[in-house]
Each structure stands twice: as C-alpha cells, then as structure tokens.
Amino acid sequence: MDNHVKEVVRKMTRLSDAERIAFPDVVKALMEAGVERYHADLVVGAKTYFMPDGSYEVTPSHPASAAAADFSAKGVEAAVRAIQRGEIKYQEFCERCASAGCVGYFVSLAGKRATYYGRTNDEYVEWFPGARP
C-alpha cells in the first residue's frame, strides 16, 4: 500500500470517528484509492484496510462498549436503518451494533456489501443500495 492510500485510509478513519463523513462518502474515497475491503473491530477499536495485492494498513479507531453476548441480526439491521435515515451518527451506530452483539464488521467494496458478525460468527449482511443480486 503506497503512502497516498495510507493517508486516505487514516483520514477516513479519523473523519468517521469524528462523525464528519457519511458512509457513502467513505466508500467513494476508498474505492477511488483502490481499497478492496476493510474490517472494523468494534471491541479492539481498529480498522484494517486491504488492497487487492494483499497489502494492508491498520488504523486505530474509537472502540465501542462491550458487545452483548447474544447476536441480534434485527438489532444490527435497526442500527443500519437508523444511520441510513440520518437519525444517528457513527458512534451511536457502533454502540447500537455492540448492544446487538456485534463485535465487528467487514466491508467488501468489490462485493458491495457489509457483513456484521457476533462472538459466535452469527452474521447479518447488508448490501449496498442497488447491489443485491
């Protein structure tokens, strides 16, 4: 991963944590930089961005509260819908996801979806708008 892309991913993490950028704008910037996918660990408070060649960059992020023991796909979906409607911002989104038992999520820019997962790998998949096959 070259220095320009590293700066882009660091900036996207900072802006997301500061609630100064929306998810569609993050996706656009990452795609323009050539990022293939990323992982957000809500418990550790870190995001890892991956390039198609296997290179990656880990950035510190604001950790969420401890995740609930049981995963609720409906709870995660409710958090997704609330942030999509603009009712909440990113930190509240992460907290609601953690309350629903989500410990992290993967965003596949190439696959146009996000997969939220719990402690036992239960999952909820959210497709980007218009991307569902």
CATH of domain 3-127: 3.30.1810.10
Rounded to an integer, the average pLDDT of 24-35 is 96
Q: Is the pLDDT of residue 132 over 90?
A: no
Which of 4, 16, 75 lies closest to 40, judged by CA? 16
Q: What is the mean pLDDT of the chain?
A: 95
Q: What percent of the chain has pLDDT over 70?
A: 99
46-65: pLDDT as tens digits: 999 999 999 999 999 999 88
**Domain ranges within the chain, ordered by starting residue:** 3-127
Q: Which residue matches tokens 């953690």?
A: 98
Q: Is the pLDDT of residue 130 over 90?
A: no
* Residue 111 CB partners (closer than 8 Å, separation 6+): 37
Q: Is the pLDDT of residue 133 over 80?
A: no
For the beta carbon of residue 14, count every other beta carbon within 10 angstroms.
Answer: 14
Three-class secondary structure of residue 81 per DSSP? helix
pTM for this structure? 0.94
Could you tell me how many residues make up the chain? 133
